[in-house]
Structure 1
Amino acid sequence: MGKNAQGRVALMSIRPEFSDAILSGEKVVEFRKRPVADDVSHVLIYATMPVGSLVGWFAVRGQKTMSPKELWSTFRAVGGISKCRFFEYYDQREQGTGILVDSAARFPRPVPLSELGTSLRPPQSFQYLTAAQSDTFFEMVRTQPSDELESELYPLARVG
């Protein structure tokens, strides 16, 4: 969908090493066992423990669902994961999805999940934000002074 369109927002639990790689621009595809809805325009990144906070977000450029072998062949250079770890993740799976990162930004400091609502818990994989939670997210992004961002919103390498 791209960084300017405001579609649905997915809250995604991502291990800290992978969230850092996405936010630094090193990793431009997030691998998942199932796709997100086609109308997802943004992914809000919850870095799992030991961070345990919202650390940034990325705009979704699209997603590709295919066999793990095809995913690896297509995205191995920009996936930010070792071949061994990749195939362990997709063990016994016939399909996987690569979510393509259009642009990404890091919050200046980790944000507690409670800022989006008291009933929100870290998802096992991902969950969709409610309309009110999405509004809060987009307000956080709009009011974030760009000089406070650790790394500016940046376009990432085009893949796929």
Structure 2
Amino acid sequence: MGSPAVGRHVVMSVHPQFAEAIMDGRKKVEFRKRPLADDVTVVWVYATAPVQRIIGYFEVDGMHTAHPTDLWRKFQKVGCIDRVAFDRYYAGTSTGAGIAIRRAVRLDEPALIAELLPSGVPPQSFAYVDNSVMT
């Protein structure tokens, strides 16, 4: 699996319907409860069960940290999530992150998580990839 961009990479667990929306270009922002580090340039998309594979990656176009209400106002049309699910996800939190997606690339062949994370264990949310794996 070749490296798509310089900078730091993460593997992110994403429910299959959202992973597909990212790869299809419909989902332009990924909502998270905590932001990525500023130097992250690439997010590898691990589609959770039943897929359980890395299906592609996207280049980060920016990180937006704000109150969930502000994130909804800014990204509701490009987040591919309804308001009820969004509010449920952010219930009890005062800050969230919107990861803007520049460009998504689907892998020709989905990959096992162990190709990027030696433990072979998918992250609960996301995990930083050791740069030596990318060379």
TM norm. shorter chain > 0.5: yes
Specify the alignment match of 1:85 in structure 2. 85
CA positional deviation for 1:87: 0.5
Instruction: Determine helix, strand or coil for the equivalent of 2:105.
Output: strand
Q: Which amino acid aligns with 1:19?
A: A
Aligned pairs for 1:1-150 (under 5 A) are: 5-116=5-116, 118-135=118-135
Instruction: Determine helix, strand or coil for the equivalent of 2:19.
Output: helix
Unaligned runs of 5+ in 2: none
Deviations 1:14-61 (A, max 9, x none): 000000000101000000000000000000010000000000000001
CA positional deviation for 1:109: 2.4
Q: Which amino acid aligns with 2:96?
A: G
Specify the structure having the higher radius of gyration (Cα).
1
CA positional deviation for 1:118: 3.9
Which has the bigger relative contact order, CA under 8 A and spacing at least 6?
2
Deviations 1:88-111 (A, max 9, x none): 000010000000000001112221
For normalisation by structure 2, the TM-score amounts to 0.93
CA positional deviation for 1:117: 5.1
Report if the CA contact (8 A) 1:8-1:134 is conserved.
no
What RMSD, in angstroms, separates the aligned Cα atoms of the two structures? 1.2
Q: Distance in 2 between matches of 1:31 and 1:15?
A: 12
Q: Distance in 2 between matches of 1:80 and 1:74?
A: 13
Report if the CA contact (8 A) 2:117-2:129 is conserved.
no
Unaligned runs of 5+ in 1: 136-160
Q: Which amino acid aligns with 2:14?
A: I
Identity fraction in percent: 44
